């Protein structure tokens, strides 16, 4: 019986109409800025207060469309939003308390003029918890006023000195004489509803006096104008003499690594330059434009060169920077287009030349080399490894016929050379032909890893016309992975440790001497035989 009564009660509640009642505790809310400026975009939030298990809300919605543009809208706290002349929100589960249900973004139209207002409102808000509708019959309205954000001054005046005013410029300097002990600051606002503070009579101390004038716009934004009134001292100076005797920078043209390392508090610096550098362009910029900079500088000698940069501050204080420039004594190496000028300035006995693209030392280069008397080291590299170097002594040059400096390893006569050397291990050097070379010409060739330091190598000359080999140099010593070969002309050569039985010039001389000796012996024997015959033919006494 009890179960039937309960079931009947639940059925009654489900069929009974939902009653609409007023509840003073519940009310709708609308919030947002009360002041905006021209063109401003802003957000209005619609919310509820003191609700219990709210599932949905509806209210009449309107705004001043002549002054406002509705940009976007969205539901809050998991409420979905439908917005037109009605604002309707709902969610699947109830929510209690005080919270926002909708966010609506507006933008002020150009027709929204200063000092006028616009509205956003909701009327007859009603929320439902699924069993009961609760009403707020009041009009909830947000009133928005268009205000100015103009925080500019229209005028700014001083009673002493001179000031050229522009409203967008906020910092000024005014200089007055020593006998001026006060100054009156005056100003008017660019917009009548802005307020200004910081005006009036100001007492002046000697030198700098900074006064700030603050303009507050109608919307509360601020702009500060600053006036530095500099009262001269008895010597007529508007500010105390500067003590700044620092340099802002030291620069050397072409030496960016040094330039980037400068620190004004560091007084000592070192710059290393190549042997060919005789002068450097130095730029020293003072940290204070009132300072005086003096530089002692001279042409660079090989070794250490010390230069002083003296910086004198406005008050007379002196600071000295020291630059030590080390001009290298190492042999420089340059490219073909630089070598002629380099030969005029190089102080080392020799100078390096990267292999010319033509594989030839031109008459012009040799003429400059002859004049200089230096030794030219022509360097052939591959992947940063030196393959060989030509050493040409300029002091021994007689003519300046171009010298061909290309070497290939191997020969088209390789088979013939192998046969002549009985396939001995070695290096075949094939030169472009030079009929004669300057005295003291040396080829320095890298023989690693074929040979090691301390090895002794023989150089054999190969004559392709006669297909013969002869010993040219014996026991050349490998040192530093290289061997030096004196050359008087160029052709094909064979480098090897093998002692080959190839007749040299001494061998030919020995053979010739042997032949001559044999011939003399034969002559003597013939003469001796003839003498004996004569003796037998003479009559006896």
SS3 of residue 140 by DSSP = strand
Average pLDDT of the residues in 36-45: 97
Single residue among 327, 352, 379 that ends a domain in this structure: 327
Give the pLDDT band (50/70/90) at residue 13. very low
CA 482 to chain centroid, in Å, comes to 40
User: Same structural domain for residues 187 and 259?
Assistant: no
Residues paired with 47 in a beta bridge: 29, 100
SS3 of residue 174 by DSSP = strand
Determine the Cα–Cα distance for residues 174 and 184; give it in Å rounded to an integer.
Answer: 12
Q: What is the pLDDT of residue 8?
A: 36
User: For the CA atoms of the chain, what is the radius of gyration?
Assistant: 53
User: Same structural domain for residues 199 and 262?
Assistant: no
Q: Of the ranges 8-17, 351-360, 520-529, which one carries the lowest mean pLDDT score? A: 8-17
Single residue among 170, 201, 231 that ends a domain in this structure: 231
- The CATH number that applies at residue 442 is 2.60.220
Model pLDDT for residues 250-300, shown as the tens digit of each residue: 999 989 888 888 999 999 999 999 999 999 999 999 999 999 999 988 899
User: Same structural domain for residues 305 and 412?
Assistant: no
Q: What is the pLDDT of residue 524?
A: 72
- The CATH number that applies at residue 177 is 2.60.40
User: Same structural domain for residues 478 and 361?
Assistant: yes
| pTM (two decimals) | 0.50
Q: What is the pLDDT of residue 536?
A: 54
Determine the Cα–Cα distance for residues 380 and 408; give it in Å rounded to an integer.
Answer: 12
Q: Quick check: 124 pLDDT over 90?
A: yes
Report CA-CA distances (Å) from 152 to 110, 173, 211, 225, 506: 21, 19, 17, 9, 108
Average pLDDT of the residues in 207-226: 98
506 in any annotated domain: no
Residue found by looking up tokens 């040299």 in the block? 504
Q: What is the pLDDT of residue 535?
A: 54
> What is the DSSP code (8-state) at residue 139?
E
Q: Is 279 exposed, middle or buried (0-12, 13-18, 19+ CB in 10 A)?
A: exposed
Task: Choose among 89, 5, 100: nearest CA to 49.
Answer: 100
Q: What is the pLDDT of residue 539?
A: 54
311 in any annotated domain: yes
Q: What is the pLDDT of residue 512?
A: 57
5 in any annotated domain: no
Model pLDDT for residues 150-191, shown as the tens digit of each residue: 999 999 999 999 999 999 999 999 999 999 999 999 999 999
Give the pLDDT band (50/70/90) at residue 529. low
- Give the list of residues 6+ apart from residue 232 with CB closer than 8 angstroms, or none: 175, 176, 177, 178, 206, 238
| Domain assignment of residue 280, given as a range | 247-327
Average pLDDT score over the chain:
89
Contacts 24+ apart (CB under 8 A), 77-86: 77/101, 85/60, 85/61, 86/58, 86/59, 86/60, 86/61
Q: Of the ranges 118-127, 326-335, 463-472, 513-522, which one carries the lowest mean pLDDT score? A: 513-522
> What is the DSSP code (8-state) at residue 191?
S
226 in any annotated domain: yes
- Give the list of residues 6+ apart from residue 32 with CB closer than 8 angstroms, or none: 42, 43, 44, 45, 120, 142, 144
Q: What is the pLDDT of residue 242?
A: 93
Tokens for 534, please give them.
Answer: 């004569």
Q: Quick check: 521 pLDDT over 80?
A: no
User: Same structural domain for residues 298 and 387?
Assistant: no
User: Same structural domain for residues 401 and 356?
Assistant: yes
Single residue among 104, 123, 146 that ends a domain in this structure: 146
Average pLDDT of the residues in 13-25: 46
The answer to whether 252 and 281 have CB atoms below 8 angstroms apart is yes
Q: Quick check: 17 pLDDT over 50?
A: no
Q: Quick check: 62 pLDDT over 80?
A: yes
256 in any annotated domain: yes
Give the pLDDT band (50/70/90) at residue 414. confident
User: Same structural domain for residues 204 and 57?
Assistant: no
Q: What is the pLDDT of residue 18?
A: 41
Give the pLDDT band (50/70/90) at residue 10. very low
Model pLDDT for residues 306-342, shown as the tens digit of each residue: 999 999 999 999 999 999 999 999 899 999 999 999 9
User: Same structural domain for residues 375 and 433?
Assistant: yes
Q: Peptide bond before 419: cis, by omega within 30 degrees of 0?
A: no
Give the pLDDT band (50/70/90) at residue 446. very high
Q: What is the pLDDT of residue 3?
A: 38
Determine the Cα–Cα distance for residues 95 and 82; give it in Å rounded to an integer.
Answer: 18
Determine the Cα–Cα distance for residues 169 and 153; give it in Å rounded to an integer.
Answer: 10
User: Same structural domain for residues 288 and 203?
Assistant: no
Residue 120, φ and ψ in degrees, nearest 5:
-135, 125
3-state helix, strand, coil in the chain (%, to 5): 15, 50, 40
User: Same structural domain for residues 283 and 211?
Assistant: no
- The CATH number that applies at residue 96 is 2.60.40.680
User: Same structural domain for residues 341 and 412?
Assistant: yes
User: Same structural domain for residues 113 and 176?
Assistant: no
Average pLDDT of the residues in 201-207: 97
Q: Quick check: 194 pLDDT over 60?
A: yes
The answer to whether 189 and 244 have CB atoms below 8 angstroms apart is no
Q: Highest mean pLDDT: which of 11-20, 22-31, 366-375?
A: 366-375
Q: What is the pLDDT of residue 509?
A: 56
Exposure letters 477-515 (e unless 16+ CB within 10 A, then b)? ebeeebbebebeebbbbbbbeeeeebeeeeeeeeeeeee
535 in any annotated domain: no
Task: Determine how many CB atoms are found less than 10 A away from the CB of residue 397.
Answer: 21
1 in any annotated domain: no
237 in any annotated domain: no
Domain total for the chain?
4
């Amino acid at each position: 019986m009890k179960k039937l009564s309960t079931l009947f009660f639940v059925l009654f509640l489900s069929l009974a109409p939902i009653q609409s009642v007023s509840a003073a505790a519940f009310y709708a809310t609308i919030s947002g800025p009360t002041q905006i400026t021209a063109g401003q975009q802003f957000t209005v939030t619609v919310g509820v207060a003191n609700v219990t298990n709210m599932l949905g809300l509806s209210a009449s919605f309107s705004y001043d469309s002549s002054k406002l543009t509705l940009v976007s809208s969205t539901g809050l706290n998991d409420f979905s939003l439908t917005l037109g002349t009605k604002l309707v929100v709902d969610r699947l589960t109830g929510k209690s308390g005080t919270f926002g249900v909708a966010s609506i973004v507006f933008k002020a139209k150009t027709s929204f003029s200063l000092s006028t207002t616009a509205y956003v409102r909701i009327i007859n808000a009603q929320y439902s918890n699924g069993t009961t509708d609760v009403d707020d019959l009041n009009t909830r309205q947000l009133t928005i006023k268009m205000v100015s954000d103009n925080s500019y001054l229209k005028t700014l005046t001083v009673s002493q000195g001179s000031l050229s005013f522009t409203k967008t410029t906020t910092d000024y300097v005014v200089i007055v004489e020593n006998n001026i002990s006060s100054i009156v600051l005056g100003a008017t606002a660019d917009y009548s509803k802005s307020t200004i503070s910081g005006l009036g009579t100001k007492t002046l101390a000697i030198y700098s006096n900074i006064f700030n004038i603050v303009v507050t716009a109608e919307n509360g934004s601020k702009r500060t104008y600053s006036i530095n009134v500099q009262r001269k001292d008895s010597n007529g100076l508007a500010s105390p003499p500067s003590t700044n005797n620092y340099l802002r920078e030291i620069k050397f043209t072409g030496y960016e690594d040094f330039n980037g390392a400068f620190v004004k508090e560091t007084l000592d610096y070192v710059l290393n330059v190549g042997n060919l550098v005789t002068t450097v362009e130095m730029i020293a910029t003072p940290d204070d434009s009132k300072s005086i900079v003096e530089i002692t500088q001279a042409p660079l000698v090989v070794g250490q060169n010390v230069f002083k940069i003296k910086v004198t501050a406005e008050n007379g204080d002196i600071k000295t920077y020291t630059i030590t420039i080390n001009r290298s004594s190492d042999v420089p190496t340059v490219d073909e287009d630089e070598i002629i000028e380099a030969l005029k300035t190089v102080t080392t006995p020799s100078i390096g030349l990267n292999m010319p693209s033509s594989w030839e030392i031109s008459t012009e280069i040799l003429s400059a080399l002859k004049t200089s008397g230096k030794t030219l080291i022509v360097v052939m590299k591959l992947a940063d490894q030196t393959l060989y170097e030509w050493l040409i002594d300029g002091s021994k040059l007689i003519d300046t016929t171009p010298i061909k400096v290309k070497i290939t390893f191997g020969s088209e006569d390789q088979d013939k050379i192998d046969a002549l050397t009985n396939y001995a291990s070695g290096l075949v050097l094939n030169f472009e032909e030079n009929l004669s070379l300057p005295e003291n010409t040396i080829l320095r060739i890298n023989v690693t890893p074929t040979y090691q330091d301390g090895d002794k190598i023989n150089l054999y000359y190969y004559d392709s016309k006669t297909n013969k080999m002869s010993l040219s140099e014996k026991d050349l010593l490998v040192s530093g992975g290289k061997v030096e070969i004196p050359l008087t002309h160029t052709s094909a050569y064979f480098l090897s440790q093998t002692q080959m039985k190839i007749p040299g010039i001494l061998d030919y001389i020995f053979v010739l001497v042997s032949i001559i000796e044999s011939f003399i012996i034969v002559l003597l024997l013939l003469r001796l035989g003839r003498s004996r015959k004569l003796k037998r033919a003479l009559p006896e006494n």
